[in-house]
Amino acid sequence: MRLSLLAFALCCAVSNAHASTTDAHVLADQVAEHVLTWRRDLHQYPELGNREFETARKVAEHLRALGMEVQTGVAHTGVVGILRGGKPGKRIALRADMDALPVTERSGLPFESKATTEYRGEQVGVMHACGHDAHTSILMGVAEALASVREDLPGEVMFIFQPAEEGPPDGEEGGAELMLKQGLFKDFTPEAVFGLHVFSTLNVGKIGYRGGPTMAASDRFRIVVKGRQAHGSSPWMGVDPIVAAADIVSTAQTIVSRRNDISRLPVVVTFGVFKGGVRYNIIPEEVELLGTIRTFDTGMREQVNQQLRDIATNVAAAHGATVQAEVPSETGYPVTANDQALTEQMRPSLVRAAGEGNVVAMPLVMGSEDFSLYANEVPGLFFFVGSTPADQDPRHAPSNHSPEFFLDEGALPLGTRALLQLSLDYLQQP
């Protein structure tokens, strides 16, 4: 009995000594100040997709300083670092996106973005309105933390700093699709890939997760309504594409409200651009409509696309107009589906990072993510970190993509801790 207790005590001592060097909470605390500094810097100097030149330079310099194998210029501006642990083990990949959005910031932060650029022929503001600055800085912190314990670390870690998650510029390739096309997982095939997203619908301190289908598939569409130009005082002398386009927008809402069984799975059809005309008293020649479709089922995806094409063609014809309906104009991201077994396996890690009461099951999310493409190659787990202040109702907080989007910086240490905990637990499992 005495020998058994002694053996047990020795085992506990060894286990605790090992935990002290690879404890996610301790490691996250050690890099917290750096993560905060990086986030504020990246937020103040955002860059659009495929143009993340300074962001990529800062990331690459950091990874090289940590002694990693670093590849730059992946999918234009992507950066990939490989950390090889001191012990044999598994391979994992961790991903963060780096790009900002064409949004003029109205947060009032002392490090608010003042950046501007040209986008689709117009001068626009540039803002990290979706939180990718947080994702990048968190992954930089995780890289530093894991590199600090590399001698005790089993296995290997790929750090993916990805450009153009919000989509590449018109006429260009980019994002996860191009990184994979260029052979990202060819020589280093991970056994699992992890990613996170700061999210306004959760309060700071909370982590949201879901097994299986999690985020929607997305498709873009472009509809050009062509009429006949005339003087605004004599609309009967022409064919008004503005009225026809407005009718298309209105009628298209029946796709969701009347034409699909949304009690089974949700569908969204959103018009984001309605552009036509240059002068108040001229009926223009044409109107351009741009938008997005979100679905969770392949059959519904095809059905909704066809319904929008039919509505555009027939409604325009009723007004005497014609259309060029590109639906979809570009195939977007597939459904982001978390591997069910991996999600169940790693949920305890999220709990260790945030606390049992702070890890919540998420409903289906209508946003889309090209993390889905990585998760189609290897088992993936994508989770959400709350970014809305604890004293604010997240239902009324400015959403991701809003010019008022506000990140409670308490999300940074939790995101760092969660990614570290997932990495350490997965790599240290037999």
Q: Is 374 a catalytic residue?
A: no
Q: Among the options 191, 285, 288, 409, which is catalytic?
A: 409
Contact status, residue 103 vs residue 126, Cβ threshold 8 Å: yes
d(CA 326, CA 308): 10
Q: Is the peptide bond before 398 cis (omega within 30 degrees of 0)?
A: no
Q: Among the options 45, 333, 374, 426, which is catalytic?
A: 333
Q: What is the dihedral of CA 398, 400, 405, 411, to 10 degrees?
A: 110
Tokens 């604010």 appear where?
A: 392
CB half-sphere exposure, 225, CA atoms < 13 A: 34
As given in the structure block, the two tokens for residue 199 are: 């999210």
Q: Which residue in 219, 222, 224, 242 sits closest to 232, CA to CA?
A: 242
In Å, the largest CA–CA distance within the chain is: 102
Measuring CA to CA, how many Å separate 197 from each of 52, 79, 115, 267? Answer: 19, 19, 23, 22
Q: Is 333 a catalytic residue?
A: yes
Measuring CA to CA, how many Å separate 328 from each of 101, 199, 252, 410? Answer: 22, 28, 15, 39
As given in the structure block, the two tokens for residue 45 are: 């100097």
As given in the structure block, the two tokens for residue 222 are: 């472009």
Query: What's the distance, CA 193 to chain centroid?
Result: 14
Q: Alpha helices of 22-112 — where are they, by DSSP H? A: 24-44, 53-65
**Residues annotated catalytic, as ranges:** 333, 409
